[in-house]
Amino acid sequence: MLYNKDILISVVIPTYNRAFIIKKCLDSVLEQTFHNLEVLVVDDGSTDNTKEVVESINDSRINFIESEKNGGACAARNIGINAAKGDYIAFLDSDDYWLKDKLEKQINCLKDSGDDTTIIHCGYERRDVDSGELVGKRIVYNDVQKEVFSNLGAAPGTPSLLIKRDILLEIGGFDENLPAHQETELAIRLAKKYNFKLVDEYLAVATVNHTRISSNPVNRINAKEIIYHKHKDLLSKRLNYGLCSAIAGFRICEGNFKSAKVYLRKSFKYDFFNIKIFFSIIMMNISPTLNQSLYLKKYKKLNIID
């Protein structure tokens, strides 16, 4: 087992046009109390001066990798995974940052687990990217290996993870087709075989940036659709119902009634006694446009759509 000072951690940081904030991210990594690390900044086709900002930092542990095309954060993370030389990999988005002892505490937790394949995670704060104001905290106390198949919220956030590189290579890294919920889909595949352990502290900060791709409701629904088709045989009946009903509702709002009917029927299959779904199926056959107006009103009230 690799429980000694020679452990090398590769920190993978995907970035795109984050010249204005990436130095804070990098400083939080370079100032870690755990020093044996390499930093892989994977630039996903930035058009600003991100490269110049990164290369202005005088630290031999930083490696700047330019992607040949703009493939998104998951593709950039996978490039980092494949280029990494470390025994373990930690992920950090370029507008997020860590507390200085994050990696040290996670390595100690890994050692205490007695299993070098254990996936270590921690809590993290959510702060406004402009003001720095605290807007929330997130920590996953549930047994991830059990709960992630019935609750999408049981997946630890990407900036909180420390994972053995061999495991990430084994499962194929991140799914590059996903526009959102990347950490959820990754956790589902990891939980099929590996254990998770929590460092019960808030050791990372994720900034709330409303221009992020994952904050787009269309992307979130499309990601849920991919997760459903990819993992429905593993997921609980309750979660499959939730995914299908959410997809159906959004497709109704879009006016894609054919797809909506398919997912309404799937929803009904998972919850045969659900009166609301049954009513919606009837309405889709009688007056789909009226049903659409009802869903639009509901979704706008819930701030799901604008």
Strand partners for 37: 9
Q: Average per-residue pLDDT in the chain?
A: 94
Question: Per-residue pLDDT for 213 more than 60?
Answer: no
> What phi-psi label fits residue 17: left (phi over 0), alpha (psi between -120 and 50 degrees) or beta?
left
User: What is the pTM for the complete model shown?
Assistant: 0.91
Confidence of residue 306 (pLDDT cuts 50, 70, 90): low
Question: Per-residue pLDDT for 4 more than 60?
Answer: no
Q: Number of helices and strands (H, E) in the chain? A: 12, 9
Whole-number Å distance between alpha carbons of 104 and 110: 10
Spatial neighbors of 297 by CB under 8 A, at least 6 apart, are: none
The DSSP 8-state label assigned to residue 69 in this structure reads S
- Residues 200-207: what's their mean pLDDT? 97
pLDDT digits (tens, 9 = 90+) for 13-46: 999 999 999 999 999 999 999 999 999 999 999 9
Q: Which class does domain 9-213 fall in?
A: alpha beta
Query: Domain map of the chain by residue range?
Result: 9-213, 236-301
pLDDT digits (tens, 9 = 90+) for 239-273: 999 999 999 999 999 999 999 999 999 999 999 99
Percent of the chain past pLDDT 70, that is, above it, reads 96
What pLDDT does 300 receive? 83
Please state the three-class secondary structure of 262-304 as a single string.
HHHHHHHHHCCCCHHHHHHHHHHHHCHHHHHHHHHHHHHHCCC
Whole-number Å distance between alpha carbons of 139 and 123: 4
